[in-house]
Amino acid sequence: DTGVSQNPRHKITKRGQNVTFRCDPISEHNRLYWYRQTLGQGPEFLTYFQNEAQLEKSRLLSDRFSAERPKGSFSTLEIQRTEQGDSAMYLCASGHRDRGEETQYFGPGTRLLVL
Amino acid sequence: AQKVTQAQTEISVVEKEDVTLDCVYETRDTTYYLFWYKQPPSGELVFLIRRNSFDEQNEISGRYSWNFQKSTSSFNFTITASQVVDSAVYFCALSEAENFVFGPGTRLSVLP
- CB A64 within 8 Å of CB A78: no
User: A81 Cβ partners below 8 Å, 6+ apart?
Assistant: A16, A17, A18, A64
Report the Cα–Cα distance between both ends of chain B, in Å, rounded. Answer: 41
- CB B83 within 8 Å of CB B17: no
pLDDT in tens, A15-68: 999 999 999 999 888 889 999 999 888 898 899 898 888 887 887 788 999 999
With contacts defined as CB-CB under 8 Å, which chain A residues touch B3? none
With contacts defined as CB-CB under 8 Å, which chain A residues touch B95? 102
Count the neighbouring beta carbons within 10 Å of the beta carbon of residue A67: 20
pLDDT in tens, B37-79: 999 988 888 889 888 888 888 888 899 999 999 999 999 999 9
| Residue B64: per-residue pLDDT | 94
User: B77 Cβ partners below 8 Å, 6+ apart?
Assistant: B20, B21, B23, B36, B48, B49, B64, B65, B66, B90, B92
A41 touches chain B (CB under 8 A): yes
Radius of gyration of chain A (CA): 13
The percentage of residues in chain B with a pLDDT greater than 70, rounded to a whole number, is 97
- CB A113 within 8 Å of CB A13: yes
| Residue B87: per-residue pLDDT | 97
Q: Is the pLDDT of residue A95 over 90?
A: no
| Cβ-based contacts under 8 A for chains A and B | 50
| Residue B55: per-residue pLDDT | 83
Closest residue, chain B, to A5 (C-alpha): B44
Amino acid at A115: L
A115 or A61, which is more confident: A115
Most B CBs within 10 A among A57, A98, A103, A110, hence the mutation to make, goes to A103
B95 touches chain A (CB under 8 A): yes
In this structure, the strands spanning A110-114 and A88-95 are antiparallel
A108 touches chain B (CB under 8 A): yes
The closest of B105, B73, B112 to B89, measured between CA atoms, is: B105
